[in-house]
Amino acid sequence: MPKGHHYGRTQARAYTSEYHRIHANVLKPLLTKPLGSYSLNAKQLSNEHRKLTLEETKNSIRYVTFTINDKSHQIGLILDNQSASNKLYITCPYCQKQRQSLYAVKNSYSCRQCNGLQYASQSERPQERLMRCIRKLRKELWGYDWPEVNNMFEQVA
Ligand SMILES: [Zn+2]
């Protein structure tokens, strides 16, 4: 697909790059800090998206609370002790699933799935996606130097 060529309807969709993304690693230092109030050091975020309170459940699971537009949004800090790297996951306030990153959306934080965000490649028309898929398969079968590999009118046989 030529660069800049988009199916018209997709223009109005929100792309992930338009939202500020918070990676779980950003919150990792909070696992060892004293409970209390903190502020994220990110100028792109609104005041309310920056201020957080660090708390802990009875089971010693830490979570942060953001108060945005008078509503609280809780994000759990879940450490994966099974992996050698001790990877940290943060929970989405909407679906509670463990995510590696969340996006700052208008009045909250949310994961990509809950926000309905689309990656650019997912906004192609279904036919375009299908054609790209066929081309990819053809390349795998025929090799990249096959002259008609990108011609969708060539019969496969
Ligand atoms: Zn979610």
Q: What is the block-wise mean pLDDT of the chain (157 residues), using blocks of 10 residues?
A: 50 66 94 95 91 94 95 94 83 94 93 77 66 72 57 55
Burial of 145 (0-12, 13-18, 19+ CB in 10 A): exposed
Report CA(157)–ligand 1 centroid distance (Å): 45
Tens-place pLDDT, residues 69-113: 999 999 999 998 777 778 999 999 999 999 999 999 989 999 998
Report CA(125)–ligand 1 centroid distance (Å): 25
Report CA(47)–ligand 1 centroid distance (Å): 22
Instruction: Using the Cα atoms of residue 48, residue 54, residue 57 and residue 61 in order, give the sign of their dihedral.
Output: positive
- What's residue 131's pLDDT? 74
pTM exceeds cut of 0.75: no
Q: Is 125 helix (H, G, I), strand (E, B) or coil?
A: coil
Report CA(9)–ligand 1 centroid distance (Å): 25
- What's residue 139's pLDDT? 67
Report CA(146)–ligand 1 centroid distance (Å): 43
Task: Collect residues with CB below 5 Å from ion ligand 1.
Answer: 92, 94-95, 111, 114
Report CA(104)–ligand 1 centroid distance (Å): 12
Report CA(75)–ligand 1 centroid distance (Å): 11
